[in-house]
Chain A
Amino acid sequence: MFRTRRSGRTGAVTTPGKPAGSAARRPLLFVGAVAVLGFLGVFFAWPVLAILHRGLRPETALVLVDHGTWRIVAFTLGQAAASTALALAAGMPLAYLLARVRIPGKVLLRAVITVPFVLPTLVVGMAFRALLGTAEPSVSAIVLANAFFNVAVVARTVGGLWAQLDRRAEDAARSLGAGPLRTFGTVTLPALRPALWSATAVVFLFCSTSFGVVLVLGAGRYRTLETEIYLRTVRMLDLSGAAALSLLQLAAVLAALAVAALARRRRESAGGVRAAERPARNPRGAEWLVVAAGGAVLAALLVPIGALLVRSVSSRSGWSLAGYRALSGTGDGALGVSGWQAALNSLRTATDATWMALSLGVLACLVLISLRKRWTAELMDTALMLPLGVSAVTVGFGYLITLQLLPGDLRTSPLLVPFAQALVVTPLVVRTVLPVLRSVDERLREAAATLGAGPWRVRREVDLPLAGRAICTAAGFGFVVALGEFGATGFLARPEAPTLPVAISELISRPGELNTQMAYASCALLMLVTAGAVLVIESLRTDSVGEF
C-alpha cells in the first residue's frame, strides 16, 4: 500500500494507458475480489460442483437425448419468457407511478407492491387456483402467478432509476416536437435500459427457477427444469439425471445471461444519473392513461392479497379471528415455536442475510467497476448472478455433502440459512447498485482523486453516496426477498427456528381448520412484517441521494 517512488529515472516506462499509481489499488481490488469470489466459491460453486460430480456418470448423457428433456427445457424457457414479458408490461406503469407521479403516501404504495414478493408460492398458487377457478393444469395461470410475484422487481428496479433520470432530456424531446409516446420511446426508454435489463435478467431467472407456482398450478403435469431437478434429486435420488438437468439449467441460465450481457453492452451506463431533481409531479394529458394502467395493475395485485386476507378471517361458520389468536401458540404442535416467534425468526434471519448480501454485493459492485478488462467484469458479474438460476435443491444437497469439511459443521448452524439467503439476495443487490455506479460520471471520481482521495476513499466519498439510494433500495428489497425466501430456507431451516414461510408451509400441510386458519393468519402476519420492514427502510432512505 505504500507508494513506491521511482525517482531519478527519466523516461520511466509505465504500462500504456493506465493511470500512474494504479498498482496501488490492485491489492485492494484483489482483496475485494477474493472476498466476493471466496464466498461464492464456498457457498455456491463448491456445493453445486460437488453434487454434480456425484451425479455425473456415463449414462447422464442419456437424459440429454431424451425427447421429454427438451420438452421440459422448452417449457421452462417459454413460461419464463412469457412471465417476464408480462411482469415487465405490468411493472412499467407502476414504475412510472413510483417515479414520476406525485402521490400522497407513496411509501405505502411501495410497501404494498412489494408484498406479493414474499408470499409463499404454495399459498399464492392455491389462491390463484381458487381465484381463476382452474384446478386443471394451466399455463396461463402459471404465467400470471409468476408475473404477480415479479411485478415488484420491475417496478422497483425501473422506478428507482426513473426517479433519478434528468427530466430535462424529456422536456427537450417534447420541445423538439416529439409526442409523449415518441419521447418515451426515444428518450426515456433508452435511458431506462440499464434498469430494464437488470429487471429482465433477474425476473427471467426467478421465473425460470420458479418452483411452487409451477408445481401447484401445473398440478404436477407441467414440468420445468426446476421441478424436475427437485423431483429427481429429492424423491428419486436420481442424481445422475438431476446432474444432467442441472447442467442444462446452468447452460440455459448462462445463455440467458450472455444474451443479457451482450444486449447491455455499453448500455448500462446510459442516462446521466444525478442527485434527485424531485421529478414527481401531477400527471397531465395522456399520462393519465399510464396512471390508470398502473392503478389497474395495482388492483390486480391486490386481488390475491385480499383473497388471502379474507381467507385468514374466515371459518366454516363465518368470520373468525381464531387464526390470529392461534399465532401465539404452536398450532397443534405443528411448529416448534409460536407464530410470533416464527415472525421474529424471519426478521432475524432476514437481517443477517441482508447485511451479508449488502456487504458482499456492494463490495462486488466496487470490484466490478474497478475491473478494467471488460470480459473479466462480465465473467464475475455472471458468476454473481448464477445463484439465482440454479435450483435451491441442488445447492442444498450440495451443502449436505460439502460443508461438513469446513470447521464447525455449518450444516446444522443457524447461520446457514442467512448464508444461503445472502446467496440469492446478493445478485439483486448487484443488479440494483451496479447500473447506478456505472452511470456515475468517471470524471467525478477523477475530481475526487485530484482533490486527494485515494482509490477506496473515492469509492466511499463518491460512489457510495451516489449509489446510496440504490443501496437502500437494495437493502429493502433484499430484506424482503430474504423474508420470503423458501427454496433454500425450507430446506435448511432448523425446526427450533422456522421462519414464517416455513411455518406456513408446515401449517398448511396438516389437516384441521385451525391449522389452515393459522396458516393464512401467518400469511397476513408475513405481509404485515414485510410492509412494516419496507416502511421502516423507506423512511430511512434519504430523499436526496444519500449522504453518508
Chain B
Amino acid sequence: MRAFEVDDVAVPGVRQRDEGLRLENVTVRYGSTTALSGIDLSAPGGEVLAVLGPSGGGKSTLLRTVAGLEGASRGAVRFGGEDLSGVPVHRRGFGMVFQDGQLFGHRDVAGNVEFGLRMRSVGRRERSREVARLLELVGLAGYQRRRVSELSGGQAQRVALARALAARPRLLLLDEPLSGLDRMLRERLAVDLAELLADSATTAVVVTHDLDEAFTLADRVAVLSEGRVLQEERPRRLWTRPADEEVAGFLGCTTFLRGRIEDGVASCPLGSVPCPGEHAGEVLLGLRATGVRAHRSGTERHPGRRGEVVRRLHRHDHVRLTVAVPELAGAELLEAVVADTDVPDPGEDVALALDPAGVALLGR
C-alpha cells in the first residue's frame, strides 16, 4: 500500500506555479438538486482564491469537489494541468482545514499535526522536527503533548492549519476556517493566516461568508450564489465594481441609485463621486452605509440632499442612521453614517453627502 501512496503524492516543495487549480464547467448534483452548475474558476499557482457567498450557496460543495470528497457530475477539476476526476481524495495532495477543525480527539496535538507525514511514511525524527517547526509557525510552540480537548477554539484552528500544512499540500483548502472564532481572534488570525499564506506562497482556496476574511486573505475573490459564480475579481476591484445588484448586496450595498458618468465623475441625486478612467454613460451606484455621510442640519456648511433621521444605531467606531428621504425615488429610506462627535437624534433633519470610499459602481 505504502509504496504507491508515496509516489502518487506530489513531491513536496515542487509546485506547478503557473497552472494551479482550474475548474472547468463543474456541475454537481445531488439527486435532482443541483448544488453547483457550470463553475469555471481558477487559482493560479501561489495565489489565494476566496470563494465568498451566502450560506447554502454551494461554497462548501465547491471546496469538497476540489478535495475529491464529492464527485462532479460534469466538468473537470484540474491541477497543474492534470484532470483529477480519477484521483481519490487521499492521493490529491491537497490539504484541507475544516470549519470546526475536525481534530482527531484520540491524538494529541503532535499526533494531529504529524498525521499527514505519517501517511507518507516520514520517519519519526523528521516528523517531530516538522511538527515543532509548524507549531512554531502557528504560534503554538511547545504544545506537542497537549490533548486537543484542552485547546481553545483559536488554538484548535491553528493546530488544524498546522496539520494541513504539515503534509506540504499542493493546494490548501480552507472551509470557513475562522468562522467559529470570536471577532477579535478572527481578525488577528486572519492577518496571521494571510501572512503565512503569502510567505509560503501556498496556492489556496478559502471559502467564507465573511467579507473581511475574504479581502484579507485573497488575491482573487469569487462570489458564489445558488451554485453559480456571479463574479470573479481582484478584491479591490470587486469592492468598487461589483457586477450586479446581487453581488453588490452581498458586499454591503444597501441602496442603489441611478446615475451618470461624465468626465470621470459619477453623479446621482445624492451627489457625485470621482471615477477616473470610467467611460461616460448610465451607471448604477451601490451605496453602503459608509457611502453616505450625514451631518447635522443646523450647520449650513453642508448643503445637499436633506433627510429625517428615523433610527439610530451605535456601532463600535461610528453611528449608523436610517434616514428618510421622501423625494428620492427608489430610496426613500437609506443608511448613512455620522461621526461620533455630532450625533443627531431621531426626528432631526440631517444633510447627506456621498463618501467615495463607500460607493460602488455596478455593471462596469
- Taken together as a complex, chains A and B put the C-alpha atoms of A546 and B104 apart, in Å, by 12
CB closest residue in chain A, given B89: A449
Flag if B68 contacts A457 (CB, 8 Å): no
Flag if B106 contacts A450 (CB, 8 Å): no
Interface residues of A in 1-37 (CB under 8 A from B): 1-22, 24-25
CB closest residue in chain A, given B172: A450
Flag if B5 contacts A6 (CB, 8 Å): no
Tell me which residues across on chain A come within 8 A of B105, comparing CB atoms: 274-275, 466, 545
Which of A4, A14, A277, A468 has the most B CB atoms < 10 Å from its CB?
Answer: A14
- Taken together as a complex, chains A and B put the C-alpha atoms of A10 and B104 apart, in Å, by 36
Does A547 sit within 8 A of B, measured CB to CB? yes
Tell me which residues across on chain A come within 8 A of B191, comparing CB atoms: none
Interface string of A213-245 (1 = CB under 8 A from B): 000000000000000000000000000000000
- Taken together as a complex, chains A and B put the C-alpha atoms of A11 and B93 apart, in Å, by 21
Q: How far is the CB of B7 from chain A (nearest CB, A)?
A: 11
Residue in contact with B88 in the complex, picked from A20, A441, A468, CB distance below 8 Å: A20
Does A258 sit within 8 A of B, measured CB to CB? no
Does A134 sit within 8 A of B, measured CB to CB? no
Does B110 sit within 8 A of A, measured CB to CB? no
- Taken together as a complex, chains A and B put the C-alpha atoms of A11 and B78 apart, in Å, by 11
Does A451 sit within 8 A of B, measured CB to CB? yes
Flag if A20 contacts B84 (CB, 8 Å): yes
- Taken together as a complex, chains A and B put the C-alpha atoms of A492 and B334 apart, in Å, by 87
Flag if B76 contacts A17 (CB, 8 Å): no
Flag if A20 contacts B89 (CB, 8 Å): yes
29 contacts between A and B (CB under 8 A): A4-B86, A6-B85, A9-B76, A10-B75, A12-B86, A13-B73, A14-B73, A16-B30, A16-B73, A17-B73, A21-B88, A274-B105, A275-B105, A275-B148, A447-B96, A448-B115, A449-B88, A450-B67, A450-B69, A451-B95, A451-B116, A452-B5, A452-B90, A452-B119, A454-B88, A457-B90, A462-B104, A465-B106, A545-B106
Interface residues of A in 450-481 (CB under 8 A from B): 450-458, 461-462, 465-466, 468
Does A321 sit within 8 A of B, measured CB to CB? no
Provided the pairs A4-B86, A11-B24 are in contact, do residues A446 and B96 lie with their beta carbons within 8 angstroms?
yes
3 closest A-B pairs by CB: A21-B88, A275-B105, A452-B119
Residue in contact with B70 in the complex, picked from A12, A19, A275, A466, CB distance below 8 Å: A19
Flag if B167 contacts A466 (CB, 8 Å): no
Tell me which residues across on chain A come within 8 A of B25, comparing CB atoms: 11
CB closest residue in chain A, given B85: A12
Flag if B107 contacts A14 (CB, 8 Å): no
Flag if B86 contacts A461 (CB, 8 Å): no
Does B311 sit within 8 A of A, measured CB to CB? no
CB closest residue in chain B, given A13: B74
- Taken together as a complex, chains A and B put the C-alpha atoms of A545 and B106 apart, in Å, by 6
Beyond the given pairs A14-B72, A446-B89, 5 more chain A to chain B contacts, judged by CB atoms under 8 angstroms and listed by A's residue number, are A15-B71, A21-B91, A275-B106, A450-B90, A450-B94
Does A444 sit within 8 A of B, measured CB to CB? yes
Tell me which residues across on chain B come within 8 A of A456, comparing CB atoms: 1
Flag if B1 contacts A457 (CB, 8 Å): yes
- Taken together as a complex, chains A and B put the C-alpha atoms of A19 and B68 apart, in Å, by 6
Tell me which residues across on chain A come within 8 A of B96, comparing CB atoms: 446-447, 450
Does B179 sit within 8 A of A, measured CB to CB? no
Does A544 sit within 8 A of B, measured CB to CB? yes
Does A281 sit within 8 A of B, measured CB to CB? no
Looking at chain A's contact residues, the main secondary structure is loop
Q: How far is the CB of B43 from chain A (nearest CB, A)?
A: 17
Looking at chain B's contact residues, the main secondary structure is mixed
Residue in contact with B93 in the complex, picked from A8, A16, A443, A452, CB distance below 8 Å: A452
- Taken together as a complex, chains A and B put the C-alpha atoms of A2 and B7 apart, in Å, by 12
Q: How far is the CB of A32 from chain B (nearest CB, A)?
A: 15
Does B55 sit within 8 A of A, measured CB to CB? no
Flag if A451 contacts B167 (CB, 8 Å): yes
- Taken together as a complex, chains A and B put the C-alpha atoms of A340 and B1 apart, in Å, by 47
Interface residues of A in 387-436 (CB under 8 A from B): none
Tell me which residues across on chain B come within 8 A of A462, comparing CB atoms: 104
Q: How far is the CB of A454 from chain B (nearest CB, A)?
A: 5
Interface string of B125-163 (1 = CB under 8 A from A): 000000000000000000000011100000000000001
Flag if B71 contacts A19 (CB, 8 Å): yes
- Taken together as a complex, chains A and B put the C-alpha atoms of A402 and B16 apart, in Å, by 63
Residue in contact with B149 in the complex, picked from A275, A447, A454, CB distance below 8 Å: A275
Provided the pairs A19-B71, A454-B5, A468-B106 are in contact, do residues A10 and B76 lie with their beta carbons within 8 angstroms?
yes
Does B196 sit within 8 A of A, measured CB to CB? no
Does B173 sit within 8 A of A, measured CB to CB? yes
Flag if B102 contacts A3 (CB, 8 Å): no
Flag if B88 contacts A451 (CB, 8 Å): no
Residue in contact with A450 in the complex, picked from B8, B74, B75, B164, CB distance below 8 Å: B164
Flag if A17 contacts B30 (CB, 8 Å): yes
Tell me which residues across on chain B come within 8 A of A19, comparing CB atoms: 68-71, 88-89
Tell me which residues across on chain B come within 8 A of A448, comparing CB atoms: 104, 115
Flag if B167 contacts A16 (CB, 8 Å): no
Which of A8, A13, A451 has the most B CB atoms < 10 Å from its CB?
Answer: A451
CB closest residue in chain B, given A441: B102
Provided the pairs A450-B164, A465-B106 are in contact, do residues A6 and B86 lie with their beta carbons within 8 angstroms?
yes
